[in-house]
Amino acid sequence: MQWWHMAANDLFYTVLRAAFDVSVEIRPLKAEATDGPEYIVYRQVSGVPANVLNGMPSISRYVWQVDAYAQSPARAEQLGAAAKVGLTGSQQLSAVLLSEGDGYDFDVKLYRWRQDFAAWL
């Protein structure tokens, strides 16, 4: 992984973490077995450098997926709303919500609110 991708993921985590109190676990890629009934999982879906005619691009477009899990659909959506406020309202990141929707994860028996965010860094 390139250093700028790592820096982008660190920034994304920092901004996302600030949107929640410490009782909500936030994990990259997958939840841990010890996580409670409410948690957030995020992953970087893409990171594409801007096209330039000459030299290295100074910015890249990143897309992250955020999944909020909870025991009720309403609570999963509330967690998703907090993620959206934190990520789209951050001056550090200025993320844009691309899509969102609900679901149910039969493996963990929890409701899920899925969101995709993009940001230029």
Q: Is 63 helix (H, G, I), strand (E, B) or coil?
A: strand
89, β-bridge pairs: none
The arithmetic mean of pLDDT across residues 17-37, rounded, is 93
Q: Give percent above pLDDT 70 in the chain.
A: 87
Q: Give percent above pLDDT 90 in the chain.
A: 69
Q: Are the C-beta atoms of 25 and 39 separated by less than 8 Å?
A: yes
Residue 3: pLDDT band with limits 50, 70, 90 = very low
At a CB cut-off of 8 Å and minimum separation 6, what does 85 contact?
19
Residue 121: pLDDT band with limits 50, 70, 90 = confident
pLDDT digit string, tens, across residues 62-94: 999 999 999 999 999 999 999 999 999 998 888
Query: So where are the chain's domains?
Result: 3-50+58-120
Classified by CATH at the fold level, domain 3-50+58-120 comes out as STM4215-like (3.30.2000)
